[in-house]
Structure 1
Amino acid sequence: MIRTIAVIALGGSLGALARFGLTQWIAANWSRSFPLATFAVNLIGCLIIGILYGLWLHRPEFSPLLRQGLFIGFLGAFTTFSTFSLDTLRLLENGESLTALGYILLSVCICLIATWAGLSLTR
């Protein structure tokens, strides 16, 4: 258990630093009229989780510790949108289109409402 926690913490640290570095680089080089940094982080995270998940499906001998460090740690800190996208894709692949649509709508709408509610509580 201690090794798992350490691997996730290391991955999380690296993911947070990668997100910070990419965000700073984009902010210094592009206009801020569109949230390009967040979009780029989410897009890159989704690409990475797709690649890693595909590798894991075809090579199940990959270390569970490595998978946890990358999925939960690195990508969890880099972006949680990648996990949301993978969960949705898996629902679609399992033929659960209605559940996937509900998950998308609930996640976006309820999270926006929760963000608004949290902000409202501080005003």
Structure 2
Amino acid sequence: MAYLWIGIAGFLGAILRYSIGLFLFDESLEFPFATLTVNLLGSFLLSWFTTVFVKRFSIPDHLKAAIGTGLIGSFTTFSTLSVETVTLIHNNELFLAFVYVLISIAGGLIMSRLGYRVVKEKRTNEHT
């Protein structure tokens, strides 16, 4: 049954990712803003979800997997980041490729930390 939930959530995550890609895509730009946006947002959401829901509430394992692996996992995309980086390198856009990878990795870590901190600060404010 978990596979069904993961599949449904994965479908929704992929549709969201594709929709944001269409919305943010600009053919005139070399830099892949759409992929960067979904990956940074996904980093925040996964951290926030695991901090808020997984630790605070008793959620069945199949729903945790559906949201974390299915929805958010299919929403973000490391493979697209890799292909877009190689494309930038192939097009002799070495600086843009470097900036893209740097922002993707550092930004993903920062967004994950932010997701965790948002929850932690909210909990602290609720207890005071």
TM-score (norm 1): 0.58
Count of residue pairs the alignment pairs up: 82
Q: Counterparts in 2 of 1:68-107, with a 5 A limit? A: 68-80=65-77
Distance in 2 (alpha carbons) for counterparts of 1:60 and 1:49: 15
Q: Deviations over 1:13-45 (max 9, x none)?
A: 0010000000000015x8522110010010110
TM-score (norm 2): 0.56
**21, 24, 34: which one aligns with 2:22:** 24
> CA RMSD of the aligned region, Å?
2.4
Q: CA deviation at 1:56?
A: 3.4
**23, 42, 47: which one aligns with 2:44:** 47
**15, 33, 37: which one aligns with 1:36:** 33
Identity of aligned residues (%): 29
Q: Where has structure 1 moved over 4 Å in runs of 4 or more? A: none
Q: Point out where structure 2 has 5 or more consecutive residues left out of the alignment.
A: 79-104, 113-128
Q: CA deviation at 1:80?
A: 4.8
Distance in 2 (alpha carbons) for counterparts of 1:53 and 1:79: 16
